Amino acid sequence: MSAAYLELEDGTKFEGIGFGHPAGGAGEVVFNTGMVGYVESLSDPSYRGQILVMTYPLIGNYGVPAADRTERFESDRIQVKGLVTSSIQSDTTHATAARSLPDWLTASGVPGLSGIDTRQLTIRLRERGTMLGRIVPATEPSESIALFDPNRIEIVREVTIRSPYLHRRGKKRVVLVDCGVKQSILRALLERDASVLQVPADWDYTGEALDGILLSNGPGNPEQCPATISVLRRALALGRPVFGICLGCQLLALAAGARTYKLRYGHRGQNQPCRENGTEHCRLTSQNHGYAVEAGTLPPDWEVWFSNANDGSVEGIRHRTRPFSAVQFHPEAAPGPFDSQELFDQFVQML
């Protein structure tokens, strides 16, 4: 470990101790309020292009499982550009731990920074909004690492599957539009005995034999995915059940004719309360997104399904008469509460 610092695009610096890969990294700086689940979060493709700040002070205290414990990983690699913590633990005494968190970052070529006041950093991001930033070794000038904005490119291309792949199970077939899908979403479909045709984000699947379409989570700005939206518009004309998750919710809204916008600092954590509109029900949800649907732009035949109980932002949409719906939160959890897993059941039952 050696001295390093995080510099935000407004010039603010936070000095600490580097760990993991000794070189620096740049991306959009975001924070997650979860107390656990750093393995799932770091491997979540939705974090592609971002530097992740964990607000909980003890990170790494149960190590990292072996690579063959696939149920704990959301992809086959660390997706973030960097990790920032108050303190970092190298503990490997947990029964499932095969290596430490710093060792995992080192092997993956991902830099980390610890020993800073993550509360102060989080307050700044809440007050100023999400910013670009860079982790830099103390011996180097910040200009040696260029700032990087993942929202200005179609970053989904970096995390989508390269060619279609069929996961054979039951008779019903779901087309999974892979925009950077978490593996727990794929597992949720397979566990419900659906065969899954996993396709690249820009693949034209409208000519495929299908019973339903699931639009996955993923990173970046939904407006940077024009090919995905174009295919989806044509797919809606098929009338088959469609279900979107996270980025998939935003893409479905854009295909329907609505607009999206960037949240000030996003929702990233495991205890976001969501109200189901028109009911007395409120559920705790796992979330990881920086964009949301603009409610007032939804066409008349669409409605807001769920709303965030904290800020009122859209957390779900659905068509009033056709089998099209989506949620902004993660019903598969991983990590987080399982309050919403029945949404997968409802989708599969419609096939």
In this predicted model, what pLDDT tens digit does every residue of 232-241 receive, in sequence order? 999 999 999 9
Question: With bands split at pLDDT 50, 70 and 90, how would you rate the model's confidence at 125?
Answer: very high
Do 184 and 147 share a structural domain?
no
Q: Tokens 């909980």, residue?
A: 56
Does 329 have pLDDT greater than 80?
yes
Q: Is the pLDDT of residue 64 over 90?
A: yes
Which pLDDT does position 260 carry in this prediction? 98
Last residue of a domain, one of 127, 152, 177: 152
Q: Is the pLDDT of residue 49 over 90?
A: yes
Of the candidates 266, 287, 265, 284, the residue with the CA atom closest to the CA atom of residue 274: 284
Confidence grade of residue 2 (pLDDT, cut at 50, 70, 90) = very high
- Cis peptide bond upstream of 241, omega within 30: no
The CATH number of whichever domain residue 64 belongs to comes to 3.50.30.20
Q: Are residues 191 and 137 in the same domain?
A: no
Q: Which two tokens stand for residue 202?
A: 């820009």
Residue 172 and residue 293 share a domain = yes
The first and second tokens of residue 123, run together, are 């307050």
Which residues are catalytically annotated?
246, 330, 332
Give the H/E segment covering residue 347: helix 342-350
| Total count of domains within the chain | 2
Q: Same structural domain for residues 310 and 198?
A: yes
Domain boundary among 107, 124, 152: 152
Residues 251 and 128 in one domain: no
In this structure, are 142 and 208 located in the same domain? no
- pLDDT tens digits, 66-120: 999 988 999 999 999 999 999 999 989 999 999 999 999 999 999 999 999 999 9
- Both 10 and 117 in one domain: the answer is yes
pLDDT class of 172 with cuts at 50, 70, 90: very high
Q: Do residues 183 and 78 share a domain?
A: no
Q: How confident is the model at residue 1 (pLDDT cuts 50, 70, 90)?
A: confident
Sheet containing strand 165-167, strands side by side: 165-167, 195-200, 173-178, 212-215, 242-245, 324-327, 314-319, 302-308, 260-276, 282-293
Judged against a pLDDT cut of 90, whether residue 167 lies above it is answered with yes
Beta-carbon contacts of 349 under 8 Å, excluding residues fewer than 6 positions away, are none
Residue 148 pLDDT = 98
- Name the DSSP class of 322: S
pLDDT at 154: 98
Question: Same domain for 73 and 185?
Answer: no
Note the pLDDT tens digit of each residue in 290-302.
999 999 999 999 9
In sequence order, what are the residues at sequence separation of 6 or more whose Cβ sits closer than 8 angstroms to the Cβ of residue 339? 283, 284, 285
- Please state the φ and ψ torsions of residue 16, each to the nearest 5 degrees: -160, -155
Same domain for 178 and 137, yes or no, is no
Structure tokens at 311: 């800020």
The CATH number of whichever domain residue 324 belongs to comes to 3.40.50.880
What angle, rounded to 10 degrees, do the helices at 342-350 and 183-191 form? 60
Q: What is the pLDDT of residue 7?
A: 98
Measure Cα distances from 170 to 189, 192, 196, 348 in Å.
10, 9, 9, 11
Residue 50 domain boundaries: 2-152
Q: Which two tokens stand for residue 219?
A: 């990173």
How far is the C-alpha of 35 from the C-alpha of 55, rounded, in Å? Answer: 8
Residue 158 confidence (pLDDT): 98
Last residue of a domain, one of 114, 130, 152: 152
Task: Check: pTM over 0.85? Answer yes or no.
Answer: yes
**Same domain, residue pair 96 and 136:** yes
Q: Given a cut of 90, is residue 333 above it in pLDDT?
A: yes
Q: Across the chain, what does the average pLDDT equal?
A: 97
Do 97 and 220 share a domain, yes or no?
A: no
DSSP string covering 18-57, please? Answer: EEESSS-EEEEEEEE--SS-HHHHHT-GGGTTEEEEE-SS
Percent of the chain exceeding pLDDT 70 equals 100
